[in-house]
Structure 1
């Protein structure tokens, strides 16, 4: 672990300490450019050194200006980056509490050393802890906290902060804001010369899911194709893996199931090679989703069960939450509604506390369909209306089209023809708006 700076050590005291450690007199350090009396005043604090003086002394003492000014040991920044990288791997492997301690400690030392880029990374990592615990509001605030230092961060980290913050916005029902923030950041990356391929890939990846869910399929397809080109130039394998995972959603929507499976297989391989257990499990979750949507329910159940167990092991409440909803839908389709309801009951506290409009709409629709299958048409009507309201609030046009169809059918079965027509019309409006951009 990189030590922190000596407590209450002034700049002059530090210069004297480094000088005496080398066995030098004041004259030996000061000459040939300055004299002994001048250095004596610097060491006692009577004469603050100019940047020029500080640069000269740093070079003579074998330090960078920043190391001398702030008391950083040589290589402090690199050591702290390595600690944070190691902590991030620990987070992905389920050692959440240990990782949080590493992030907080490294962030404090980075602040002490005035290493704004490293402190930004530490703040980002702490935000990832909040995300893994599925505290969406706290995660969003923490990503904003990291963003305050983003100007000092490398492009890939700035892009990841936008990626994660926009994801929190999307879950909170602000899909238009989420997409606009990513597109603004993407334009800024592309305006720079040279374009940073990792940052570009990260932001293109961030666009795919919200665009698909909002019905912006042409734009999502374009992001996936542009991402494929950026991935060929990217240097971060975790970004490439994350791209493959998200691109699979586009190919699935286009009916290109083999291409979607191939992307997910590559994503699993890359994440596993990096020791990112959480992300590898999320790829299996995506594969279960793919199997469900292609009617391979037994395979979906097996894959989602494995993913859910793995995400439980690494402490990813967000992942357990999502896989449980998917698994419940699979069991409903397999004719086990009681088990589906029990699965949802198990995550009900998290569902009630999380600001995840997308999942809330999916759960309400699922429970509405279970009520319909049991012949409880009034209950089905209420739940499907709640689902449609959730989906409209979140600008989830594709899901709203499907829910409106189900709701219209239930209302028609109850003889409420006028209300059924209104429900169908709501779905038609959502379908017409598909690919036209965010709902205003």
Structure 2
């Protein structure tokens, strides 16, 4: 039960061995203080400030019963919980976040409660509960008026990620760009928002805008102070350098991202960098190196309980094995993670297209056609234009092999339409 303000004043006075007269004078008389302590008369703002000064407290510490320094202690507890989460000690992290959220609410520390709510959303995000994460983020945003800029930016970053994974890339991009338009003065916040833009823009065909975000972020990274934000930016920017043929820069960015994540104990994100590096190596045709990186990434993510990361790394590994001439192993890998894909429209489209490629490799062109059509529909519906271009081209090739030239031309035309789409 919350201690009434009058009772708190009386307790603090008694703890110091003061009489009512000793506390009240010279600013107020003893009788007035007695009424405040019994709750029959509320103190004015001026009296509250006077009493707080006498006790050596801030006004809010006195008003809400906050122990001195409790806000910093609670923030430190959340930082520690976040490290637990990155080490996959999910239950420990979740319990810590819930306890801090409750304490922060009791002490009327909106900024700390906001951070706790964001951390609770991160638990949902790691467990790949996209809808649950978005709900927690929206609760956090209601408390964000006094939160630091980096936290407000990260809430937007994750919220847009939820919308993107739900197949609403346009809304995801628009929200981040609207936030950037407010010109955040904090370099960490701005870098966080730029990082959130890159992947959705590229998937919607906005390579020019994604490159501009990467170049802007590269300059900002020099002034940023949070290693995790700088690492997250390097990981995202690597996609741009890959797309424009700068594989050397992409590899450097991924290496630096992995180093920074590891330096702050973010093992899950460090493993995701290995996944991204495996993807890059696969694109470069360095298949055995890609297989090694992706296998290590998948094993690390599985050990950390990161289901979404396991699914992504496994799909990449399946594509590598397919290109290495092992379609049966590739099919087994896709089947292994298929149950994890229901809430990720991008991964579901990728996996469906990969199943089509496997069918093609096995010579089952009818099944390949059906699956590639399905993948193209998923990707187009979710505005994933970059992926839709590749799927449409492969579908056209399969239809051409089957002698269905009119349908093949239509598939190629669909790919061209996707390629010409630049998003919002």
**Is the Cα contact below 8 Å between 2:327 and 2:362 reproduced in 1?**
no
Of 9, 12, 27 in structure 2, the residue corresponding to residue 18 of structure 1 is 12
Matched, 1:407 2:395: yes
Give the Cα–Cα distance (whole angstroms) in 2 for the partners of residues 285 and 151 of structure 1: 36
Structure 2: state its 5+ residue gaps.
none
Which residue of 2 is the match for residue 253 of structure 1?
Answer: 243
Which residue of 1 is the match for residue 172 of structure 2?
Answer: 178
Matched, 1:432 2:416: no
The root-mean-square deviation of aligned C-alpha atoms, in Å, is 1.0
Which residue of 2 is the match for residue 263 of structure 1?
Answer: 253
Query: What do residues 184-207 of structure 1 show as CA deviations (whole Å, max 9, x unaligned)?
Result: 11112x1x5xx1111100000100
Matched, 1:370 2:364: no
Shift of 1:366: 0.7
**Is the Cα contact below 8 Å between 2:308 and 2:340 reproduced in 1?**
no
Which residue of 2 is the match for residue 206 of structure 1?
Answer: 196
Which residue of 1 is the match for residue 385 of structure 2?
Answer: 397
TM-score, normalised to structure 2, is: 0.98
Query: What do residues 318-338 of structure 1 show as CA deviations (whole Å, max 9, x unaligned)?
Result: 111111111111111111111
Note the 1:12-51 alignment, pairs <5 A.
12-51=6-45
Query: What do residues 239-270 of structure 1 show as CA deviations (whole Å, max 9, x unaligned)?
Result: 01111111111111111111111111111111
Q: What's the secondary structure of 2:181's corresponding residue? A: helix
Which residue of 1 is the match for residue 315 of structure 2?
Answer: 325
Shift of 1:181: 0.4
Shift of 1:174: 0.6
Give the Cα–Cα distance (whole angstroms) in 1 for the partners of residues 390 and 305 of structure 2: 33
Of 141, 145, 148 in structure 2, the residue corresponding to residue 147 of structure 1 is 141
Shift of 1:316: 1.1
**Is the Cα contact below 8 Å between 2:188 and 2:226 reproduced in 1?**
yes
Give the Cα–Cα distance (whole angstroms) in 2 for the partners of residues 409 and 310 of structure 1: 37
Give the Cα–Cα distance (whole angstroms) in 1 for the partners of residues 346 and 115 of structure 2: 29
Give the Cα–Cα distance (whole angstroms) in 1 for the partners of residues 341 and 307 of structure 2: 11
Q: What's the secondary structure of 2:325's corresponding residue? A: coil
Which residue of 1 is the match for residue 334 of structure 2?
Answer: 344
Which residue of 2 is the match for residue 286 of structure 1?
Answer: 276
Shift of 1:166: 0.5
Which residue of 2 is the match for residue 74 of structure 1?
Answer: 68
> Which 4+ runs in 1 deviate beyond 3 A?
none
**Is the Cα contact below 8 Å between 2:314 and 2:333 reproduced in 1?**
yes
Matched, 1:84 2:78: yes
Give the Cα–Cα distance (whole angstroms) in 2 for the partners of residues 270 and 432 of structure 1: 37
Give the Cα–Cα distance (whole angstroms) in 2 for the partners of residues 431 and 210 of structure 1: 15
Shift of 1:152: 2.4
Query: Which stretch has the larger CA shift, 91-100 or 226-235?
Result: 226-235
Query: What do residues 212-250 of structure 1 show as CA deviations (whole Å, max 9, x unaligned)?
Result: 111211100000010011111111111011111111111
Note the 1:47-196 alignment, pairs <5 A.
47-188=41-182, 190=183, 195-196=185-186
Which residue of 1 is the match for residue 207 of structure 2?
Answer: 217
Q: What's the secondary structure of 1:60's corresponding residue? A: helix
Matched, 1:335 2:325: yes
Q: What's the secondary structure of 1:347's corresponding residue? A: helix
Query: What do residues 56-103 of structure 1 show as CA deviations (whole Å, max 9, x unaligned)?
Result: 111110111111111110011100000000000000001011100000
Structure 1: state its 5+ residue gaps.
1-6
Aligned residues: 424
Shift of 1:437: 2.6
Shift of 1:105: 0.5
Shift of 1:287: 0.7
Give the Cα–Cα distance (whole angstroms) in 2 for the partners of residues 31 and 219 of structure 1: 66
Give the Cα–Cα distance (whole angstroms) in 2 for the partners of residues 295 and 78 of structure 1: 50
Give the Cα–Cα distance (whole angstroms) in 2 for the partners of residues 266 and 418 of structure 1: 48
**Is the Cα contact below 8 Å between 2:302 and 2:310 reproduced in 1?**
yes
